[in-house]
Chains A and B, each alone.
Chain A
Amino acid sequence: NAGVTQTPKFRVLKTGQSMTLLCAQDMNHEYMYWYRQDPGMGLRLIHYSVGEGTTAKGEVPDGYNVSRLKKQNFLLGLESAAPSQTSVYFCASSVSGSGSYNEQFFGPGTRLTVL
């Protein structure tokens, strides 16, 4: 099993460009999450999904959109990138959102720089 994978691993964008980050998991998990991690800020939840076809806003959703068309994939889109979106993005998945089943498995991260 590959677990949680993310593509791309690195990306440099210019302000105003758009891109999509792809997350895939092969553990048949219902829940998937997108976080950003910045120095001194810890992990902040952008959007999450509790099942195929569902999405919900997290703590810092502005400037991002997501889609969960297939259970195994969770896409994060930046429509018009801004320098403030320079960050490391982590995708995670879990069996559910309850108790120990909320153990989240993380992908390797995408390092995004917006110039």
Chain B
Amino acid sequence: GQNIDQPTEMTATEGAIVQINCTYQTSGFNGLFWYQQHAGEAPTFLSYNVLDGLEEKGRFSSFLSRSKGYSYLLLKELQMKDSASYLCASAHNTDKLIFGTGTRLQVFP
């Protein structure tokens, strides 16, 4: 199978910066998605990377290294509302996404 790994839980303080890492299998790789999921709600799209480098979108940035099979999501100026699960999902030469189990981020005041 095609495994995708990310940490289970992370904690951070309001106003801080946090980096959530994700590793995936490189075979047939065709893009990397990040989703945010608040408790009891549906996942919502955050970012998509297919080329190496950093994509910045306001307080959130996503980085990709295709050769290393590695991505991270960077959240700056953390707010309480950023407490959520963050799902990493890789696309390969199929019709499906492979989702990680998600990283539950808790932001404390």
Residues of A within 8 A of B (CB): 31, 33, 40-45, 48, 50, 56, 58, 90, 97-100, 102-109
For B, the interface residue count at a CB cutoff of 8 angstroms equals 21
B91 is an interface residue with CB less than 8 A from chain A? yes
Q: Report how far A63 CA is from B48 CA in the complex, Å.
A: 33
**Majority secondary structure of chain A interface residues (helix, strand, loop or mixed):** mixed
Q: Are B43 and A90 in contact (CB under 8 A)?
A: yes
Which residue on B lies nearest to A111, using beta carbons?
A: B40
Given A40-B101, A42-B100, A58-B96, A102 contacting B42 (CB threshold 8 A): no
Nearest CB of chain B from residue A69's CB, rounded to whole Å: 19
Residues on the B chain within 8 Å of A40, using CB = 8, 101
Q: Which of A45, A103, A105 contacts B96 (CB 8 A)?
A: A45
B33 is an interface residue with CB less than 8 A from chain A? yes
Residues on the A chain within 8 Å of B30, using CB = 98-99, 102
Q: Report how far A80 CA is from B94 CA in the complex, Å.
A: 31
Q: Report how far A60 CA is from B91 CA in the complex, Å.
A: 18
Q: Which of A90, A97, A100, A106 contacts B50 (CB 8 A)?
A: A100
Given A42-B99, A99-B91, A106 contacting B43 (CB threshold 8 A): yes
Q: Can you name 17 A-B residue pairings with CB atoms under 8 Å?
A: A31-B95, A40-B8, A41-B101, A42-B87, A42-B99, A43-B99, A44-B99, A48-B96, A56-B95, A90-B43, A97-B91, A98-B30, A99-B91, A102-B33, A102-B91, A106-B42, A106-B43
